[in-house]
Every structure is written in C-alpha cells, then in structure tokens.
Structure 1
C-alpha cells in the first residue's frame, strides 16, 4: 500500500540518493518550484546525493543551462542524467545506423554535437554520424516535434508512414508522451514513437522507464564516489515513466500526484485523497512506495 507523506524530510536517513524528475516536480517549464528546491537542498545537507534524472532529449550540459535559466540553484543537485545522454550512447553505437534522419526542434540539434565527458571519449572512437534526408537514411533520431507549441503527432503522419515503408528504426530520445509547460500540455518524442509503433514501425527507447538511463545514472553515481549498492528513491509525477521505471529497477518510488495527474486526486493539489489515489493506482497495477501532492 502506498504511504502518503508530508515532505521528503520524512524519509531522512533512509536513502543514499534520489533520482528526481524535473518537469512537474522541480519546475513547470517556466520557473522552479521553491519548495522542491528546498527539499532537495535539505536532502543534500543530510548527506544524500541528488541525481536529476530527466527524459529531456538533450545532453546534460544543455539541461543544466536550462535549469540555470529557470532559477534552479546548482546546490540543489549533484548530477544530471538525461535521456539524451543515454540515447546518444545508443546512436553512437550504431543502433539506427550511421546515416540518420533527424526529427526534432532546432534547439535539440546539440544532440549530435554536444557530448558529456564519458560519451565524448566513446564518440571519438566511432565512425561519424551523418544527417541525411529521409529517403537516404538508415534510421531516424527523434528528439521531439519541430514546434511543440503548435504541432501534434498528426502533423508527422506522412513522414512516419514513409519511414515505415522504408523500414527505418526510430531512436526515441525522450519516451515521455506529454509534458506540461505551465498550463499548456505539449507532445514529446514519445508520442511520435508511439504513433510510429502503431503503424508497425520499430522504436528504440533509452530514457525512463527503460534500463539504459538507470544504468548510466548508477555508473555516474559510482564515479562520484557513492558506495556500492546505494539505497535509491525515484521521485516523479510520471506513473508510466518515473514510477514504473523505478519499480522495474527494484527501487523505491515517490509519486508526485500534483504533476501530470493532479486533477485525479481531489481538489487540494497538496493533499491527494487516499481513496481516489488507491483506485487510480489499482487500474494501472502500480504501487508507488510513497506519494505526496507536490515535492517539498
């Protein structure tokens, strides 16, 4: 049974590290949540490590710049691990070939040029990746929609049908279906990958809830000096990404009910109603270890 807690401080001393989601937990795409920032800062002062584990399709350096702009202070976290980082490793290893067609926003083009230190070393040993038109491609790299403020997956139907006809595998750099930018819901790369699979295409995933991003996060924790087999708590508002992913890894989870699913659990976003939460979770056959309205 899921336990509703009041704050992250209620769990002081139980975990060596947290894997914390960004959108809906730490910020809303426009500004940081002060209470969430304070909760992570406090966790670090008690000796815990904070890993910001995000399905952002960009490398960690780009996400850190975004966090700076949103007002997330750097003393609120130790490491950033992104779906983009994990997907870059897949791309560099040739998962969708060396000639790839790119679907994504201009801001995401750094996916092909900006690598974290460990990935840059690996990239230097591999043949180059070349961006080509769809009819010349061996595969697709999808980081999202070109303009997620105005487009939907329907805008990509013809492109996806052509890719399916050509038998191209798709590397999905962000498994999220949607995120909320303040009060506006936006489609992510996961929505395009989902549509592609429904057509019969093949999509490869590297972010939450899939293992590659967790493997990378654990490796970077170890490199940061964290003891072997640490106790880790996964925090997020995505039931099919953060919670399912953490559970599949055998980790405890903290479901933030006031994010993507805020309307499901009563009128007080800060205090989810237990009966509604239990019924909703039962339909999804998932049981987070803990839940709270907003991270604090």
Structure 2
C-alpha cells in the first residue's frame, strides 16, 4: 500500500540519503522548483546526503552546468550521478568495440570529451554508420522537431549490420516546460521492436545504481546507508528503486499528472491506487510535488 505524504520532511528521519531524480521533480528543464529545492536543502541541513540520480545522457559536469543555468543551487545536493556517467564506463569497457557511430544532438558531445579519469583508456573513434562496430545513442539529433519514426531507416540499417546500441538515456519522453519531447529510450525501444540489441546503463537498470552506491559510500564514509529513491518515472525511478531494495517516493505531478484528477496538487487517492495496481507497482510513498 502506497502512503500519500505531505512532505519529504514527514519521513526524512527514516533515511540517511536520497537518490533524487531531476526532470519533473527538481526542475522542468527550464526552471527550478523552489519547494523541491527547499526540501532538499532542509534534508541536507539535518546531516543527510542528497545524491541527484538522473537519466541525462551527459556526464556529471554537463548536468551541473545545466542545473546552474536553470537555478538549482549547489547547496541543495552533494553529488550527481548520470546515466551518461554509467554509460561511459560501459563504452570504455569495449563492450561494443572502438569504432562508434553516435546518434544524438550537438549538446551531447561532452559524452565523448568529458570522460571519467578512472575509466579504461580505450581509444574510441567516431565513424559513419557504415563503418561502425557499435552505436551510442544519447538522444534525437533535434528533439524539438524529430520523432523516432525519422530514424526508422537508420535503425533498420543498424539491425541489418547486427550492431548493438548503447542507450545513454532509458527515458522514453521528458517534459520541457509544457512540451513533451522524445528521449534516447524511445529510439532504443524502436530498435528492440525491430529485433535489435540494446544495452542500458541508466534507471531502472543496475549499472547506474552501482555507481551511485559507490559515490554515496565515498560521501558518507561507509556502506549501508538507508536510501530513499525519489522520482516521477514509474518505470525508471520507481521500478529501479524497488529492484534495488530501496524505498521509493513517487512524485505524482510529473509525467503521469493527468492520470490522478484535474488538480495536480491534489491527486485522487482512488485514481492513484487503481493506476498503480494496473501497473503492478507499489511505491512506498507518493507525494504531489517534491516539497
């Protein structure tokens, strides 16, 4: 049974740390949510740890710059772990070769240039699709105008060549302000539906949690912290947390806000329960907005 709670503070004493999602919880891609910022600041002020856990395909440094641009202050968090970070380790392990074709936007170039210092020094060469041993997908080249259908021919070509895709962002969609955009996960899903092979490193898959736990242990100086995973993505944030044995807090006013009644600030408990039951998912808690 999922408990609908009024604030993070009402359960904060049960946890040492939070793994907090970004889009839909802390910001909308354009501006920070003041109540969420205040909630995380208060959690940290009580001596606890905030680790931002995001399916962004870009590495930590780029995510940090984006947060600064949209007004998320650095005193609201302790560290950042991105799907891009986790995927870089996968790429540099050589799992799909060294001749790599990239599907993604110019804004994602830092994935290939800002590499982790402790990763293997594998020489990666960016090549056209016809010369590739594997493909890294960080997203659509122009997510403001394109859809997965625009990539059908390229995906069919990849399938014919037997190429494996590394998906650097398992999210299917994201809300930029009031506009819903496709993410790398939508291309990965289309490729899998064609019979292609995809490897995932972000939520809800284990690699990003392995990396997050290591960074959390470094921050806390110990293993075994009691963690709460916060997010608005049922099949990423919540499913991933449950699979990791972590308590979860579902933010109802994010991606699925329209499912729970006309007022996002007052989700209908009966609608919420029925929606979760239909998806065989049971977050530990739910909250309208992170506050």
Quote the residue 1:122 is aligned against: 119
Specify which of 179, 182, 206 is matched with residue 187 of structure 1: 182
Quote the residue 1:87 is aligned against: 87
Structure 2: how far apart are the matches of 1:20 and 1:62? 17
Quote the residue 1:155 is aligned against: 150
Structure 2: how far apart are the matches of 1:267 and 1:78? 35
| Per-residue CA distance 1:253-278 (angstroms, 9 max, x = gap) | 00000000000111221121110000
Structure 1: how far apart are the matches of 2:118 and 2:53? 22
SS in 2 for 1:209: coil
Aligned pairs for 1:192-231 (under 5 A) are 192-231=187-226
**Alignment of 1:144 onto 2:144:** no
Aligned pairs for 1:267-282 (under 5 A) are 267-282=262-277
**Alignment of 1:54 onto 2:51:** no
Quote the residue 1:266 is aligned against: 261
Structure 2: how far apart are the matches of 1:59 and 1:293? 29
Quote the residue 1:39 is aligned against: 39
**Alignment of 1:28 onto 2:25:** no
Q: 1:225, CA displacement in angstroms?
A: 2.7
SS in 1 for 2:220: coil
| Per-residue CA distance 1:125-147 (angstroms, 9 max, x = gap) | x3301100111100000000000
SS in 1 for 2:109: helix
Q: 1:223, CA displacement in angstroms?
A: 1.3
Q: 1:224, CA displacement in angstroms?
A: 1.4
TM-score (norm 2): 0.99
**Alignment of 1:73 onto 2:100:** no
8 A Cα contact 2:93 2:122, kept in partner: no
| Per-residue CA distance 1:8-65 (angstroms, 9 max, x = gap) | 0001211000000000000001000000000000000111100000000000000000
TM-score (norm 1): 0.97
8 A Cα contact 1:153 1:192, kept in partner: yes
8 A Cα contact 1:271 1:292, kept in partner: no
8 A Cα contact 1:16 1:48, kept in partner: yes
SS in 1 for 2:32: coil
8 A Cα contact 1:19 1:233, kept in partner: yes
Specify which of 240, 244, 254 is matched with residue 239 of structure 2: 244
Over 6 Å off, 4+ runs: none
Quote the residue 1:294 is aligned against: 289
Structure 2: how far apart are the matches of 1:122 and 1:190? 24
Quote the residue 1:132 is aligned against: 127
SS in 1 for 2:136: strand
8 A Cα contact 2:9 2:43, kept in partner: yes
SS in 1 for 2:19: strand
Structure 2: how far apart are the matches of 1:127 and 1:228? 30
Structure 2: how far apart are the matches of 1:121 and 1:200? 34
Quote the residue 2:99 is aligned against: 99
Structure 1: how far apart are the matches of 2:84 and 2:163? 20
Q: 1:226, CA displacement in angstroms?
A: 4.1
8 A Cα contact 2:37 2:76, kept in partner: yes
CA RMSD, aligned part only? 0.7
Unaligned runs of 5+ in 2: none
